[in-house]
Structure 1
Amino acid sequence: MRQQTTAPIDQIKGWILAKHENRTDVAADEDLIDNRLVDSLSFVEFVFLIQELSGVEIDMDTLDIGDVRTLAAIQKRFLAG
């Protein structure tokens, strides 16, 4: 069994920060889309990362964009429990 040393939400934050080297942090309530931290080109990769880390299958056709708009929303919808 593989042991994760970093919480999934921290891995998601790290993915975002790796794409924006000028940033040092992402607030839990910061709008990732409006602030262009996740753009249309990286959105599918971003959703796939959430799916991989959460173990929850995400249907792109029924995805509520609000569920992936902030780190807090991602934590609540996909990583809580």
Structure 2
Amino acid sequence: MSKRLIRVLPHEIRDNQSELQKHVINAVLSNGNTLFGRLQAADNTGIVLKDTRDHLHQIALSELYELVYDDARGIVPKSRHPTI
């Protein structure tokens, strides 16, 4: 079964928080670093991510580039590009 990479921008996290908490996610930071884990909490200033060693990472939204997760449902999300 194919998977789709779903990308969520920082300003979209609050609206998608319940869906994001169902998946293991990659938090891509603005400096290029990536953290892998599960979303624990999100608010207007940042997120809390729990990694595979059960360490909590607090990430400011200003430092976050995007969240990425695999969605195996096969549903193609709405494109960010108006021509696609």
Q: Normalized against structure 2, the TM-score is what?
A: 0.28
Q: Give 1 or 2: higher helix fraction.
A: 1
Q: Which has the greater radius of gyration? A: 2
